[in-house]
Amino acid sequence: MRAAVLGSPVSHSLSPVLHNAAYAALNLDHSYSAIETNESELGAFLESVDSEWLGVSLTMPLKEVAFEFADSCDELAKITGAINALVFGSETKAFNTDVLGIVDALTESGIDQISTGVIFGSGATARSSLVALHRLGANHVTCVARNQSDITRLAGVANDVGIDLKSTELSNSEWMSSDVVINTTPVGVLDEIAREVYAPSGILLDVVYNPWPTQLAASWAVTGGAIVSGLSMLLHQAGHQVTLMTGLPAPIAQMRDALNAELLSRGLSTI
């Protein structure tokens, strides 16, 4: 059986490492690869799959356009408006495992109950982060972003799940005292902001993991705050996808070992 991660670019994706390690640990004769696929190519690819395919993971820029190819969607995909996995069978089912990956990454770090959160960015990952914070108990979340249309969409998600969301400038966000801060912006965007970190009281989850630590994460840790790498989120969301595609519990320990071995081979920090 086959599976793959689709997106553009995907040549350096770590997903094949995680999924293939899971298959090996589960004694499954499956294979998982990375296939360069843009928005205009997704439909043709999905039409070409046969009964040998378990499903596909989706990364940018496919997380939103995939809705037109799904027969059904789980609740998290519907709420966030983002799909990161399609599972094949009698129908094509769509899922969002990013939310669960964020929840698991934060829970693993010791977080079990929060009330406030700050999110940098307002795109698809920010929407998943908002729902994850809600699942952890947050009722007040602040968004620091510039794209007004994305902020409006994020506010719609907040309304759907019952979170008080406000959008504000960094100086008014109270990010140093928030229970959890999640950065969903691309690498380098918050490098200047990193200089403003001082004695944070909460935990930082930075979805950027290459390079790691980011300047923001490094400043956060040096001034006394706890940090979580986006690699932890990547690991756990992949684990949920393995379970969806195989029906078996994901071997997280073996997946983590394989991930760390690959990170070391690339000269990157492990988790």
pLDDT per residue as tens digits for the range 1-49: 999 999 999 999 999 999 999 999 999 999 999 999 999 999 999 999 9
Q: In the predicted model, what is the mean pLDDT of residues 221-244? A: 96
Pair 73, 184 in one domain: no
Residue 152 lies inside a defined structural domain of this protein: yes
pLDDT of the residue at 112 = 82
Looking up residue 164, the CATH number of its domain turns out to be: 3.40.50.720
Instruction: Count how many residues are written for the chain.
Output: 271
Overall number of domains in the chain: 2
pLDDT of the residue at 25 = 98
Tokens of 180: 């959890």
Pair 128, 247 in one domain: no
Pair 241, 205 in one domain: no
Residue 271 lies inside a defined structural domain of this protein: no
Helix, strand or coil for residue 203?
A: strand
- Name the least confident of 55-59, 104-108, 112-116: 112-116
Q: Has residue 167 got a pLDDT over 90? A: yes
Pair 6, 59 in one domain: yes
Pair 118, 190 in one domain: yes
Pair 36, 152 in one domain: no
Pair 74, 190 in one domain: no
pLDDT of the residue at 113 = 87
pLDDT of the residue at 268 = 85
Residue 270 lies inside a defined structural domain of this protein: no
Pair 76, 128 in one domain: no
CA distances from 83 to 35, 172, 250 (A): 17, 32, 20
Pair 142, 61 in one domain: no
Pair 111, 194 in one domain: yes
Pair 114, 93 in one domain: no
CB 125 within 8 A of CB 207: yes
What band does 269 get if pLDDT is binned at 50, 70 and 90?
Answer: confident
233-262 burial: b if 16+ Cβ within 10 Å, else e: bbbbbbbbbbebbbeeebbbeebbebbbeb
Sign of torsion, CA 270 123 5 94?
positive
DSSP 170: G
pLDDT of the residue at 263 = 93
User: What mean pLDDT is reported for the chain?
Assistant: 96
Q: In the predicted model, what is the mean pLDDT of residues 251-263? A: 97
pLDDT of the residue at 266 = 87
Q: Has residue 207 got a pLDDT over 90? A: yes
Residue 79 lies inside a defined structural domain of this protein: yes
Q: Has residue 126 got a pLDDT over 90? A: yes
Give the residue from 87, 62, 64 showing the smallest Cα distance to 77: 64
- Which residues are annotated as catalytic? 63
Position with higher pLDDT, 268 vs 59: 59
- Domain of 201 in residue numbering reads as 100-231
Pair 177, 243 in one domain: no
Q: Has residue 209 got a pLDDT over 90? A: no
Give the residue from 165, 177, 70 showing the smallest Cα distance to 126: 165
What band does 62 get if pLDDT is binned at 50, 70 and 90?
Answer: very high
